[in-house]
Structure 1
């Protein structure tokens, strides 16, 4: 696995583990980790799978509803585990593009002055973030899980952005143990799309990462987000693939 790919998947997996641990939802087994919150689709994942031979047992536990039916790999690992994934009954469910930017070589620019950003520091902020994220990505996000992340700015920073006094976009930074930054949950409510808010939020987060002395910043882009992040200087590395059992 290339170093940039390690940066990308390492930040994502550590981020999920951190969220799960803070919320009291993390399961750590010898061959995988999992987070399975009630009433929330985030971060509902099995991840950090150590060895393709574990997939048969993971599939068994998913069928018994003891683990979430969403197992995530970076593309290199998914390729290596392809025979075991197929044998256990998994197929790709969602693919995102892992991307990286070197901040010293690509300092962030500015964002429009009509957007106001704040770091969440109270329960109402966590709820607002969860509502924006849920509306942006069309899945359940529990504000109570987000609230467990507040006040930990050395590791995680939860942002909301407002336009005309209305909370319209979300974004989150996670600083991993290797000193890298990861951007997560960059979303815009449907009624505010097409106004450049995703690019503005990303720029604000990159400014924060730069101020905090980070060199590498990673994220995982959908097809819709890929042009935005490319324009801002992110480079594609490897895909991040989530698998589910064949129905």
Structure 2
């Protein structure tokens, strides 16, 4: 299932295949059970969306939310994010945090997220 999750992530997240394979390898080494939870969204039986949450310190960190380009603008990204957050809530977590691209801001605002700060991200290669 992790391979299916990473393959779906590769279809539309960040640097695509390169980034997805790196993320998959990290989770293979570090483990992909709690505190990490990965979600794979299906549309007509085909994988089209991903999300991951990290549970720690009473907070659910939301990561790797992505919908493949051909399935975007149907509410799938919002639905998979909401499902992950509801599961976190059912586990006793009261707060969710995330970083957002410009494209995702309206989706997350619609789910009730508010902007508290902005952070510049620099990556060393």
Higher Rg of the two aligned structures: 1
Structure 1, 156-165 or 235-244: larger mean CA deviation:
235-244
Correspondence for 2:27: 146
Q: Is the 8 A contact 1:169 1:189 kept in 2?
A: yes
- Taking structure 2 as the reference length, what is the TM-score of the superposition? 0.86
Deviations 1:112-132 (A, max 9, x none): xxxxxxxxxxxxx11111122
Q: Is the 8 A contact 1:126 1:144 kept in 2?
A: no
Gaps of 5+ in 1: 1-124
Correspondence for 2:49: 169
Higher strand proportion (structure 1 or 2): 1
Gaps of 5+ in 2: none
Q: For CA contacts below 8 A with separation 6 or more, give which structure has more relative contact order.
A: 1
Correspondence for 1:215: 94
Deviations 1:183-224 (A, max 9, x none): 100101111111111110111011111101111110111111
> 2:8 and 2:123 mapped to 1: Cα distance?
26
Q: Is the 8 A contact 2:60 2:85 kept in 1?
A: no
Write the mapping of 1:93-112 to structure 2, written as runs, cut at 5 A. Answer: none
- Aligned-pair Cα RMSD in Å: 1.5
Q: Is the 8 A contact 1:171 1:205 kept in 2?
A: yes
- Taking structure 1 as the reference length, what is the TM-score of the superposition? 0.45
